[in-house]
Structure 1
Amino acid sequence: MTQGLGLGPLVVEDCLSPLRMPKMDASGGGAFVAAFAVRLDRETPPAHLRAVELDLVIGENYLVTVRDGPVREIEEGLELRLRSMGDEAWSAGCGGGSGERLAHAALDALVDGHLPGLVSVATTAEELEEGLDPRNERASTAALENLILLRRDLSAFRRLAVAQQESLKRLGRWPRSQRGRLSDVADNQREAVDMGDATRDYVDGAVESYRMRRDERSEVGIRRLTVLAGIIGPLTLLAGWWGANFESIPGSGSEWGFTIFVGVQLVFVALAVWLMSRRGLL
């Protein structure tokens, strides 16, 4: 195929190399485009967003796609475009510019597939947010970790999607016949970037809201412990004085000494609780 299509060594090398960033290179009458599709894997938790590489070699009358496995969006998009072009035109070689039209169909289907993937990510984020409960630290920790991983994946998606948007803009300046259509594809890619940003902001808000609720719950617990220590501390001090091993302890020789001592403690506790309640500490 390399010899038959006259592909250069750099194009072949790009097709065989793993995707780093989407790009577009024009050479002669053709172009090479490295793009990506989006998949949300839920089979093995935690759910994560991953990119599926797709390389396109565009010629005047042909389109070659290189991928590791089937990409449903590309197959469906190309099938629809071939049907619309007509069996007669296809058997005759599709005429001039067929490679550009097929490339537009493939990229349009690829970018359109980003939105359903991002909708699935948003749904997953909502489900994980429901599991964030400060009263259940163990379950909340697992949900929080999954949300943080989703946020990382969305940041990676944005980095790739922005680069792909720029590649689509460059590609739109190359074939004049498809310039308007490829401009629409770039606009769709921008919408996918905006949706990814909105989902990432939602995840950030969910994580921040959980942390605020958790901190508030911890603050309430610490405040209650402080109030309890403030009440028990003086009682412990009085008990220590009263229990000192001396003969001349005030009230130790009276039959009402112990009752008075307990009464004083109870009055102190009641007074402390009343004061704490008035100040909103209880």
Structure 2
Amino acid sequence: MRERRVPDLELVAQTEKEEEEEDLFDYFYDKPGSLPGTLIIEEDAAPSKIVLIDYNESNATRIHVVNPEDCTLYLDTESVSWVDVSGLGSEDILQRLGKVFDLHPLVLEDVVNVPQRPKIENYDDQLVIIAQMVMPKEKGDGFWIEQVSFVLGKHYLLTVQEEPQRDCFGPVRDRIRTNKGSVRKSGTDYLAYALLDALIDGFFPVLEDYGERIEELEDEVLRNPTRQTLEKIYQLRRELLALRRSIWPQRNAINSLIRGDSDLISPNVQIYLRDCYDHTVQVMDMVETYRELASGLMDVYLSSVGNKMNEIMKFLTVISTIFIPLTFIAGVYGMNFEYMPELKVRWGYFACWGIMVAIAVALCYFFWRRGWFNNFSTIDND
């Protein structure tokens, strides 16, 4: 990452926040006049690393590939070859991978120029799947979001990820290594399903965190709503919108896989993809529910602030009403006219105080009988 000198720490935090929001909501778009198939490599993109997992029912091999051309030997074998590329910072390696796998220039552009909208593209002997993966952050609230691209062939599956540090494919790798389940007994289409299913299941831990955040915000809104509470609700709504923009097109893409007529997806795997589609629908329902709850939190916040203001105004009204007659009496006897009748009375001072106290007590009793003192305790929560 480039080092920038900014004297104001608040400006740094604001800049980082704007960059995170840009990552959540922006899709990649070509500059006007650029050639089709142009690759845009980000300056801070991680170097590309290639890991090849070749397996069949009897054995599995994991290889760290240095030269993309070494993958050619595994593309036409009867075993399943999973070529996992992580990092988009090496243009030369990516271009060579495109030649090895005979990728169309527009496919390579969609894979490298991220983020793209999730979609399905069917070529003659390849099926391209663009998806988005989310993972909860280790520290703090929010989530990481990155693009994962699948290129499915008859005997191989090419996956390209943005970051090498994190993904949600660990359980699938373990099942291949330990030969659990049906993954090593099936073809590349089942492997693609397994990875897609793991990717969709990665949304659930993120949504669990948002459920807990919404519960905490509900308590905060009801007990002590502040300006920071409003900012938290606003940020929550934006992040949920980003989740919705990630899962909605993926639902349509998986539905296209189920209803498509590609020879690379067997009828047996289409049945499994139906279960994956059900998971996307479940994620969509949870996201929509949380968005409605977040919108409801905004209404509750406004109501709580309004009720709090009403209680404060009620308190000030009671104080003002009690002191109005007392101020009137004190004003009358503070005019210092010479022939005021009560000024020469021996017990006039004490009588004035008695009348003022009696009026204050009578007004307090009147307000108490009307229930105005019942909710004043909420004002002390600040």
Q: Could you state the TM-score of these two structures normalised by the residue count of structure 2?
A: 0.63
Give the corresponding residue for 2:193: 104
Per the TM alignment, residue 75 of structure 1 is displaced from its structure 2 partner at its CA by 4.0
State which drifts further: 20-29 or 121-130.
121-130
Per the TM alignment, residue 228 of structure 1 is displaced from its structure 2 partner at its CA by 0.7
Q: Which amino acid aligns with 1:113?
A: G
Contact 2:150 2:157 in 1 (8 A): yes
Give the corresponding residue for 2:238: 152
Give the corresponding residue for 1:234: 325
Q: Pick from 264, 267, 279: which aligns with 2:358?
A: 267
Contact 1:134 1:210 in 2 (8 A): no
Question: Are residue 80 (structure 1) and residue 175 (structure 2) matched?
Answer: yes
Contact 2:116 2:147 in 1 (8 A): no
Alignment of 1:128-207 (within 5 A): 128-132=217-221, 134-135=223-224, 141-174=227-260, 175=262, 176-177=265-266, 178-207=269-298
Give the corresponding residue for 1:49: 143
Instruction: Find the aligned partners of 2:370 and 2:213 in 1 and give their Cα distance.
Output: 43
Per the TM alignment, residue 132 of structure 1 is displaced from its structure 2 partner at its CA by 4.8
Per the TM alignment, residue 52 of structure 1 is displaced from its structure 2 partner at its CA by 2.1
Instruction: Find the aligned partners of 2:256 and 2:278 in 1 and give their Cα distance.
Output: 13
Q: Which amino acid aligns with 1:171?
A: L
Per the TM alignment, residue 101 of structure 1 is displaced from its structure 2 partner at its CA by 2.3
Contact 2:136 2:144 in 1 (8 A): yes
1:276/1:127 CA distance change after superposition, 3 Å: closer
Larger RCO (alpha carbons 8 Å, 6+ apart): 1
Question: Are residue 251 (structure 1) and residue 342 (structure 2) matched?
Answer: yes
Q: Which amino acid aligns with 1:199?
A: Y
Per the TM alignment, residue 226 of structure 1 is displaced from its structure 2 partner at its CA by 0.5
Contact 1:56 1:66 in 2 (8 A): yes
Percent of aligned positions with the same letter in both sequences?
28
Instruction: Find the aligned partners of 1:21 and 1:155 in 2 and give their Cα distance.
Output: 15
Q: Aligned residue pairs: how many? A: 268
Structure 2's unaligned 5+ residue stretches are 1-96, 374-382
Per the TM alignment, residue 54 of structure 1 is displaced from its structure 2 partner at its CA by 0.7
Q: Pick from 116, 129, 132: which aligns with 1:36?
A: 132
Per the TM alignment, residue 244 of structure 1 is displaced from its structure 2 partner at its CA by 0.6
Per the TM alignment, residue 190 of structure 1 is displaced from its structure 2 partner at its CA by 0.8
1:78/1:172 CA distance change after superposition, 3 Å: farther
Instruction: Find the aligned partners of 2:223 and 2:227 in 1 and give their Cα distance.
Output: 9
1:281/1:124 CA distance change after superposition, 3 Å: closer
Instruction: Find the aligned partners of 1:276 and 1:130 in 2 and give their Cα distance.
Output: 31
Instruction: Find the aligned partners of 1:36 and 1:168 in 2 and give their Cα distance.
Output: 12
3-state SS of the aligned residue for 1:251?
helix
State which drifts further: 115-124 or 225-234.
115-124
**CA-atom RMSD in angstroms:** 2.5
Structure 1's unaligned 5+ residue stretches are none
Instruction: Find the aligned partners of 2:350 and 2:275 in 1 and give their Cα distance.
Output: 89
State which drifts further: 156-165 or 17-26.
17-26
1:69-118 residue CA offsets vs partner (Å, 9 max, x unmatched): 245422432553584454xx7xxxx8xxx332221111111112211221
Contact 2:120 2:256 in 1 (8 A): yes
Contact 1:154 1:200 in 2 (8 A): yes
Q: Which has the higher helix share?
A: 1
Give the corresponding residue for 2:157: 63
Q: Could you state the TM-score of these two structures normalised by the residue count of structure 1?
A: 0.84
Instruction: Find the aligned partners of 1:247 and 1:24 in 2 and give their Cα distance.
Output: 99
3-state SS of the aligned residue for 2:135?
strand
Q: Which amino acid aligns with 1:184?
A: D
3-state SS of the aligned residue for 2:290?
helix
Instruction: Find the aligned partners of 1:250 and 1:20 in 2 and give their Cα distance.
Output: 91
Question: Are residue 125 (structure 1) and residue 125 (structure 2) matched?
Answer: no
